[in-house]
Amino acid sequence: MLAVDVEKQLGALRISVRFDAVGGVTALFGPSGAGKTSVVNMIAGLLTPDRGSIAVDDTVLFDAARGIDVPPHRRRIGYVFQEGRLFPHLSVRQNLDYGRRMSGRPRGAAEFERIAALLDIGHLLERRPRMLSGGERQRVAVGRALLMGPRLLLLDEPLASLDAAHKREILPYLVRLRDDAGIPMVYVSHTAAEVRRIATTVVRLDAGRVVAAGGLELLKDADVDGLD
Amino acid sequence: MLDLTPAEWTAVELSLRIAVVATACALPFGIAIGWLLARTNFWGKSVLDGLVFLPLVMPPVVTGYLLLIWFGRKAPIGAFLDNHFGIVFSFRWTGAALACGVMGFPLMVRPIRLALEAIDRKLEDAASTLGANRLWVFVSVTLPLALPGIIAGVVLCFARALGEFGATITFVSNIPGETQTVSALIYTLTQVPGGDAAAGRLVLIAIALAFAALVASEWLARRATIRFHGE
């Protein structure tokens, strides 16, 4: 379980967010500028909150009062960025292997095969990231985050940089991931239709605050946009 | 045409050795200083920036003179290095390498700094979420992505070291077999009657070496760029 209770002043935006996420896919849903990415960056350790605490299961990752701030490389939290952020100087295979190599875990061929099959990227392994389409790039980014053996997966608008066709291409993989991988996910999006497809829980953010938290019924009044 | 005498070969070999050692020894410092200038903010940064570039704008003979009064055998730094590490610079080829390294340093630091500034820091964040500590992020992401700039810096420093004359001859003189590089030998030959033919041969050698370094660097830089960023 993920427990977030953080405050952070970012220019004019004051982020003050508190929510729990219990397994499945928790969507952080809200308009641009609501502070969604900042919250995820705080969970990953890339941004330090001014106050509060972050914990996954029994592990405290951040606690301002107790002076705990686990650095990002020890948090074991997978992060899929909006722009993929694959390493341009490494092949797809080396990108996928990066997390495992950094943590020094032995190579699990079975796990590698399973995730490559799940995301259908087995035929791309020897390519460089610049030779991939947008959709392929994001699938590799998801695979790279999964192969580090994360206890939690953060996805920050993973479809935002893709056109409609590629969005439709990726979503089924993410749904499959939710149903098969069993890793809790936090999914950031400002698109209601996308959230409806993937999320099990919804946390609505606006102007740095949680305005509602609950099930998919929270999306009812949200605008419908052209995803499907 | 290229019928070099043993003394001339010695000068060529010495020039290459000095340039290689100077560049290799300058490289770790070049990366460290380039990183400091590109990535950090500290009090006195502009002073460091200026110091690094000073050898580029000062007359080489001034650089050589400063090296002489600091790194000579009886000078403060020179005596310390001699007593504690047995490193002697004055009137040795190592001193020539030091002079060449100092003269080439600004040319090395600048492209490295620019390359480090151009790197997308978000890739480094991505690496850290994947479990890489700061050192590994640097080794596995930052350095490879800065490689084209590092190659450019190495080549510029090497070329400068290969042709260095003023600082070297001021600091370690012009001793055949020890500090007499191609440049110094050409200078000597132009000072004696009948030295023109030998000087001409060495001039050709110097041009060929410079040209080879240039071609090699172009090739290396293009390969690195293609590898990382596409055609």
Residue of B192 and A225 predicted with greater confidence? B192
Q: Any CB–CB contact under 8 A between A102 and chain B?
A: yes
Average pLDDT over residues B168-185: 93
> What six digits make up the tokens of B103?
């003269």
The pLDDT assigned to B183 comes to 92
pLDDT score of B89 more than 60: yes
Q: Any CB–CB contact under 8 A between B207 and chain A?
A: no
Mean pLDDT of chain B: 91
Residue of B nearest to A141 (CA): B126
Q: Any CB–CB contact under 8 A between A123 and chain B?
A: no
The pLDDT assigned to B2 comes to 64
Residue A225 lies in a domain: no
Mean pLDDT of chain A: 89
**Confidence band of B127 (pLDDT split at 50, 70, 90):** very high
The pLDDT assigned to B12 comes to 92
**Confidence band of A226 (pLDDT split at 50, 70, 90):** very low
The pLDDT assigned to A103 comes to 78
The pLDDT assigned to A118 comes to 85
Domains of chain B: residue spans and CATH: 6-229 (1.10.3720.10)
Structural domains in chain A (count): 1
Average pLDDT over residues B107-130: 95
pLDDT score of B229 more than 70: no
Residues with Cβ < 8 Å from A168, sequence gap 6 or more? A227, A228
Residue A29 lies in a domain: yes
pLDDT score of A139 more than 50: yes
B125–A145 CB contact, under 8 Å: no
CATH number, position A157 = 3.40.50.300
**Confidence band of A182 (pLDDT split at 50, 70, 90):** confident
Percent of chain B with pLDDT over 90: 70
Residue A70 lies in a domain: yes
Residue A228 lies in a domain: no
Residue A227 lies in a domain: no
pLDDT score of B230 more than 80: no
The pLDDT assigned to A225 comes to 47
Residue of A127 and B228 predicted with greater confidence? A127
pLDDT score of A52 more than 90: yes
The pLDDT assigned to A72 comes to 95
Of A72, A88, A89, the CB nearest to B129: A72
The DSSP string of chain B is -----HHHHHHHHHHHHHHHHHHHHHHHHHHHHHHHHHH---TTHHHHHHHHHHHHHS-HHHHHHHHHHHHSTTSHHHHHHHHHH----TTSHHHHHHHHHHHHHHHHHHHHHHHHHHS-HHHHHHHHHTT--HHHHIIIIIHHHHHHHHHHHHHHHHHHHHH--HHHHHHH---TTTT--HHHHHHHHHHSTT-HHHHHHHHHHHHHHHHHHHHHHHHHHHHHHHHHH--
Which residues of chain A neighbour B126 with C-beta distances below 8 Å? 79, 81, 85, 87
For residue range B6-27, list pLDDT tens digits in order: 888 999 999 999 999 999 999 9
Average pLDDT over residues B196-219: 88
**Confidence band of B60 (pLDDT split at 50, 70, 90):** very high
Average pLDDT over residues A146-164: 89
The pLDDT assigned to A217 comes to 79
Of A75, A76, A85, the CB nearest to B126: A85
pLDDT score of B225 more than 80: no
pLDDT score of B140 more than 50: yes
**Confidence band of A222 (pLDDT split at 50, 70, 90):** low
Report CA-CA distances (Å) from B167 to A59, B33, B160: 60, 22, 12
pLDDT score of B231 more than 50: no
pLDDT score of A171 more than 60: yes
From the CA of A143, how many Å to the nearest CA of chain B?
A: 12
The pLDDT assigned to A56 comes to 93
Model pTM above 0.80: yes
Range of the domain at A98: 2-219
Q: Any CB–CB contact under 8 A between A77 and chain B?
A: yes
The pLDDT assigned to A228 comes to 39
